[in-house]
Amino acid sequence: MSNEEIIEKINGFLVDEFEADINLITPEASLKETLDLDSLDFVDLVVVIENNFGFKAKGEDFVNIKTFQDFYDYIIQKVNQPA
């Protein structure tokens, strides 16, 4: 899967599952504030990541994810990681 395909997939589930406004999703925007995420939403973020990319994110993985670009980079790195 190319990086563009991964990003498209992420934006797709953010719009579908988190009902995000696609116009507000920009690489430098804050993931937490743009999506208005609370602690329960992070649980559901773990679920959609697993459903879409087949790996389980850990809570501590989100500590350094501030922007959408951070989120894309994190997923791209995990997807491309050798099994």
Note the residues at the interface with another protein (CB under 8 A).
18-19, 38, 40-41, 43-44, 46-47, 50, 56
Minimum CB–partner distance for residue 32 and another protein (Å): 14
Minimum CB–partner distance for residue 56 and another protein (Å): 7
Minimum CB–partner distance for residue 43 and another protein (Å): 4
Q: Which of 38, 41, 44, 70 is catalytic?
A: 38
- 69/74 with CB nearer another protein: 74
What are the b/e assignments for 56-79, b being 16+ CB within 10 Å? ebeeeebeebebbebbbebbbebb
- 4/38 with CB nearer another protein: 38
Active site residue 36: no
| Contact call for residues 35 and 18 (beta carbons, < 8 A) | yes
Torsion region of 19: left, alpha or beta (phi above 0 gives left; psi -120 to 50 gives alpha) = left
Q: Which residues are catalytic?
A: 38
